Chain A
Amino acid sequence: MHADPRALRFSAAVTVVVLALVLVTGGAWLLAFQAVVFALGAFGASPYGMIFKEIVKSPPRELEDATPPRFAQGVGLFFALVGLIGYVTQITPLALGATAAALFAAFLNAAFGLCLGCEMFLIVRRLLPAAK
């Protein structure tokens, strides 16, 4: 499966705005919304990506493999869920820390095209036993 890199960058930019709003307003519902978006993105159906496809009709110059960004959306979902737990249990450092971590990664993706979630893969995999 392949993805339009422009749609991925656009989605990352929208994610940056949403997560920044979560931090500014302390809106747990907005974070829950973003968690759903991450979950859909992990299944290759990012709503932000669909918005991009509605607006931009021109075909991308090149496509890229959709597996890494989908994995990264899963990592984003993990941080969003940790942040939600923080908001629900009112452990503020947890809520802010996890949300800021997700914002950090989304911004690196939007501004520099770096996929931090993808970088996590090998580091996590190294910690697990070699058995396949």
Chain B
Amino acid sequence: MVLITLAVATMAGVVIRRRDGVPREAGGDVERLTSGDLDAPLGERATLVQFSSAFCQPCRATRRILSEVTEMVPGVAHVEIDAETRLDLVRSLNVLRTPTVLILDASGRVVRRASGQPRKADVIGALGLAVGE
């Protein structure tokens, strides 16, 4: 029982760590978010939308990474949303974890989506797609 539990947990841990924060194509219907949805203006070229919550360890580090990226790349906005106060968006976008980061192009279309703490290089790569470079 103990060994099975630990073996399954090890596999789960490896899979989660490997998938964590990797930006993926947003599956299902392509979503488009407006500045009205976000209660904040969209970035001129792209927007990084971060869903956070009170009980979220990697949210702080994610916030730091995303603000570093917005300082580096001009025309990119970083919008942080408290998942608990915007359950409407959480449900319609099917956000299951915090942090979840959506990478929007200039028109607000969700180009990529990462759940878990993303790596800086991955965010920059996904931004490249969003601004069409």
Chain A residues at the B interface, C-beta cutoff of 8 Å:
20, 23-24, 64-65, 67-69, 71-72, 96, 100, 103-104, 107-108, 111-112, 114-115, 118-119, 121-123, 125-126, 130, 132
- Chain B residue with Cβ nearest A24: B2
22 A–B contacts, CB within 8 A, in A order: A23-B2, A65-B57, A68-B54, A68-B56, A68-B57, A96-B1, A100-B1, A103-B5, A104-B5, A104-B9, A108-B12, A108-B13, A108-B16, A111-B9, A112-B13, A114-B13, A119-B97, A121-B53, A121-B54, A121-B55, A125-B84, A132-B85
Instruction: Find chain B residues with CB under 8 A from A71 CB.
Output: 55
Instruction: Find chain A residues with CB under 8 A from B83 CB.
Output: 122, 125
Instruction: Find chain A residues with CB under 8 A from B73 CB.
Output: none
Contact B90 A126 (CB under 8 A): yes
Question: Which A-B residue pairs are the 5 nearest by beta carbons?
Answer: A112-B13, A121-B55, A107-B9, A71-B55, A68-B55
Instruction: Find chain B residues with CB under 8 A from A96 CB.
Output: 1
Chain B interface bracket (under 10, 10 to 19, 20 to 34, 35 or more): 20 to 34
Chain B residues at the A interface, C-beta cutoff of 8 Å:
1-2, 5-6, 8-10, 12-13, 16-17, 53-57, 60, 83-85, 87-88, 90-91, 95-98
- Chain A residue with Cβ nearest B1: A23
Instruction: Find chain A residues with CB under 8 A from B16 CB.
Output: 108, 112, 114
Instruction: Find chain B residues with CB under 8 A from A67 CB.
Output: 54-55
Question: Given A65-B60, A68-B57, A103-B5, are A122 and B12 neighbors across the interface (CB < 8 Å)?
Answer: no
Contact B12 A20 (CB under 8 A): no
Q: How far is the CA of A122 from the CA of B51 in the complex (A)?
A: 11
Instruction: Find chain B residues with CB under 8 A from A69 CB.
Output: 57
Q: How far is the CA of A108 from the CA of B6 in the complex (A)?
A: 9
Instruction: Find chain B residues with CB under 8 A from A100 CB.
Output: 1, 5
Question: Given A23-B1, A122-B96, are A130 and B57 neighbors across the interface (CB < 8 Å)?
Answer: no
Instruction: Find chain A residues with CB under 8 A from B97 CB.
Output: 119, 122
Give the shortest distance, in Å, between A75 (CB) and chain B (any CB).
Answer: 10
User: Residue among B6, B9, B97 with the most chain A CB within 10 A?
Assistant: B9
Contact B57 A118 (CB under 8 A): yes
- Chain A residue with Cβ nearest B12: A108
